[in-house]
Amino acid sequence: MTLLTLVRHGQTDWNLARRIQGSTDIPLNATGQDDARAAAALLADGTHHAIYASPLVRAHETARIIADELGLASPGLVPDMRERSFGEGEGILVADYLAQYGDWHATPPGSETLAGVCERALGALDSIARHARLRSAPVAESVIVVTHGGVIRSLLNHVSSGTLPREGDILRNGSVHRFEASPGVLRLLESIAA
């Protein structure tokens, strides 16, 4: 068994403006750096053995701050933990996106499906957990993975058979979501807002 703690990256200027980021590489703003430190404070009560991140700068920077705060080695980059590509929807305001495309399940031209996001993220988490089990067997290892709201939403939806996140639930920047992973199984333990 591996404990996987998924953290949503800190705030960016596009988060603040309620603009679709997707795979557009936007850095953290000052609040986002504070979000990363707040997430590290939430994680400070436990032992963590490794940290990984999406290669997008907002997630990688969040992971570097958390690693520094917790005394962990530099984060490993995991391309399949990147945010969903929204294709032609990237860069537009959330309200305009929803007015134009209807909901988050829509697939604007050039975008990735939510099912595709979930599939690649599950594969990445399985690989991370398998590697952790090889390093620490038979003791459970705790791993932090800094990723994105769309990725976390797709995984919550998957593990809850479609009941989470509930309509209107907001996954705050810096929020923490703890999962337990064993071969072929991912189970939600808890979600905590930063």
3 has pLDDT over 80: yes
pLDDT tens-digit map of 110-126: 999 999 999 999 999 99
14 has pLDDT over 90: yes
User: Is the Cβ–Cβ distance between 108 and 82 less than 8 Å?
Assistant: no
DSSP assignment of 40-82, as one string? HHHHTTS---EEEE-SSHHHHHHHHHHHHHHTPPPPEE-GGGS
Per-residue pLDDT, averaged over 154-161, amounts to: 95
The domains located in the chain, with CATH, are: 2-192 (3.40.50.1240)
pLDDT of residue 194: 64
pLDDT of residue 65: 98
Per-residue pLDDT, averaged over 15-22, amounts to: 97
- The percent of residues above 90 in pLDDT, for the chain, comes to 84
32 has pLDDT over 70: yes
Residue 190: active-site member:
no
- State the Cα–Cα distance between residues 9 and 65, nearest whole angstrom: 11
Q: Report the sign of the C-alpha dihedral through residues 65, 68, 72, 76, in that order.
A: positive
CB atoms within 10 A of CB 34: 17
132 has pLDDT over 90: no
- The percent of residues above 70 in pLDDT, for the chain, comes to 96
pLDDT of residue 109: 95
Strand ordering across the sheet containing 141-147: 76-77, 50-53, 141-147, 2-8, 176-182, 185-192
User: In this predicted model, which residue has the larger pLDDT, 193 or 112?
Assistant: 112
pLDDT of residue 131: 82
Tokens read off for 115 = 């099912």
Q: Would you place residue 138 in the very low, low, confident or very high pLDDT band (cuts 50, 70, 90)?
A: low
Which one of 18-27, 125-134, 160-169 scores highest in mean pLDDT? Answer: 18-27
pLDDT of residue 111: 96
39 Cβ contact list (under 8 Å, min separation 6): 7, 10, 62, 66, 174, 175, 176, 194
Residue 61: active-site member:
no
Pick the closest to residue 109 from 91, 125, 85, 130 (CA basis): 85
pLDDT tens-digit map of 43-70: 999 999 999 999 999 999 999 999 999 9
Catalytic residue among 48, 61, 83, 158: 83
